[in-house]
Structure 1
């Protein structure tokens, strides 16, 4: 009798831990099609977003963000509390952003965000930031025409 109770409690604990692991669903990264964006040099990571204000990059970045980032950072980059609200980044955090996305975020041995350097090329990462830039402008009630003027 005691043995069957222990088995039941153990099975219940395993089910509960498995559901916690998969709470965010399938988190396998989704491919990002960056066709239409200018190619960036292989092996040379830029420290500034070359696509800022580029409408095509924003469109590609929105799709990539929704497929790969929204689970934790929230729909339209508005955090639900799991991860930082990326609309707060602003335009002066390019190097910070790219380093966090490339390397991931770990604290005290716990991974809070995986590294994406081996998953996405820099075109995809900068396109995502281009979308986040747009969300920042909208969040701060800034004129989007000003952002689009920054396109290179």
Structure 2
């Protein structure tokens, strides 16, 4: 999907915009370094959705642009962008899966699972979350 507009925001203030991704990222890195602050680069896609990366003062980026929908593989543990590990229990159609949070077995359906180039995942939304039922 094509990016139509990029906006740079730092400390809640608009600091620039451009339709050119490379120009936006370079400007964000320069501003972040010069002022010692984080800069968000918010991309507006052709369908109206947005994507965001945050550029740190050291020039590192906490989020990658490229991601794609996947069908999670049952039994595989995936690392979420939020730092938490989730095990795929069962894969479903439309890039959805029954997922279980490894640390406490919270189980839910993750809809629209996407994987970034660093192999971390996120999903559009979840439903049906529950704790495991204890045997009586």
TM-score band, normalised by shorter chain: under 0.3
Q: Which has the higher contact order (CA 8 A, sep 6+)?
A: 1
Q: Which has the larger radius of gyration?
A: 1
Which TM-score applies when normalising by structure 1?
A: 0.21
Which TM-score applies when normalising by structure 2?
A: 0.23
- Which has more helix, going by share of residues? 1
